[in-house]
Amino acid sequence: MKHAPADSLNILVVDDEEGFRDLLKWEFVALGMNVETASSGDEGVALLTTIRFDVVVTDITMPRMDGLKLLEHIKTVSPRTEVIVVTGFSAVETAVYAMSHGAFDFILKPYDINDLLLRVKKAAEAYTQCRSCGRSAA
């Protein structure tokens, strides 16, 4: 399992909408992050076996495996990875569900890209802190 440098965050974007995947990849890459994309939950699961991600941004409504299942999977295989859940306008209930199952944050679609960036950065900080505390414990 390869480790990214501390200043270069590993981000996974999971969304069945190609437009969103491209937008976020374009945005995060420009900010110097390593970005992988997946169009569904199971593709994300496959990527998680080879790469350790700091932050995962996932849509909820997707074919085959949805965002909530992916969230549960991530929290099982890589508990320290922070997950930001993106929900549709009318899915506040699912957002609440996601938060109670270990999601770091949620954001409603359509979102302000600057707002999302802010949340991703916060999640990365939380991940870093957690990793350092994990090291000190070790």
Partner 1 sequence: MKLQTRILCLGLILAIISGGLTLGIAKRAFDAILIGQVGQIGTSEVNNLGEHAADGIRERSESVLLPQLQSAQQASGAHDAIALDAAGNVLAHTEITRTGEHYENAFHVDVLSSSDTVVRRTADMLIICAPVWEKHVADLGEALLMAGAPNDSAETRIGSIILEIPLARTLAVSSRIVDRLALIIGIIGLAAITGLVLIVRGILRPVELLIAGTEKIAQGDYGTEIRVSRADEVGQLAGAFNRMSRVLAETTVSKEFMQGVFSNMTEPLFVVGMNGQISACNEAALALVGYERSEVLGQPLGMVLGGQLCSLDKKDVMQEGWMESVKDAEKVLVNKQGTRIEVLYSAAPLKDVQGATQGLIVVARDMTERKTMETIIRRSEKMSAVGQLAAGVAHEINNPLGVILGYAQALTRRLPSPDDPSAVPLKSIEKEALRCKNLVQDLLTFSRVSKVEKEPTDLNKIVTAAISLVNAQARMGQINVVSKLSDNLPHFLGNPNQVQQIIINLSTNAMDAMPSAGTLTVKTELRDEGPLSWVCLLVQDNGTGIPSDLVSKIFEPFFTTKPVGKGTGLGLSLVHEIVKKHSGTVDVRSEPGFTEFCVKFPVRFTDRPKEAALS
Half-sphere exposure of 88 (CA within 13 A, CB side): 10
3-state secondary structure of 38: strand
* Among the listed residues 61, 125, 126, 130, the single contact to partner 1 using CB under 8 A: 61
- Which tokens belong to 84? 């930001």
DSSP character for 27? Answer: H
Residues counted in the chain: 138
Q: Does position 113 bind partner 1 by CB under 8 A?
A: yes
Q: Does position 106 bind partner 1 by CB under 8 A?
A: no
| Binding segment toward partner 1, per CB under 8 A, in 35-43, 66-74, 104-112, 124-132 | 104-112
| Binding segment toward partner 1, per CB under 8 A, in 66-74, 97-105, 107-115, 130-138 | 107-115
Q: Does position 102 bind partner 1 by CB under 8 A?
A: no
Q: What is the C-alpha separation between 7 and 16, in angstroms, rounded? A: 28
3-state secondary structure of 114: helix
Element spanning 67, H or E: helix 67-77
Q: Does position 20 bind partner 1 by CB under 8 A?
A: yes
3-state secondary structure of 130: helix
* Among the listed residues 8, 64, 77, 110, the single contact to partner 1 using CB under 8 A: 110
Q: Does position 8 bind partner 1 by CB under 8 A?
A: no
Q: Applying CB under 8 A, which residues contact partner 1?
A: 17, 19-20, 22-24, 26-27, 30, 61, 88-90, 109-114
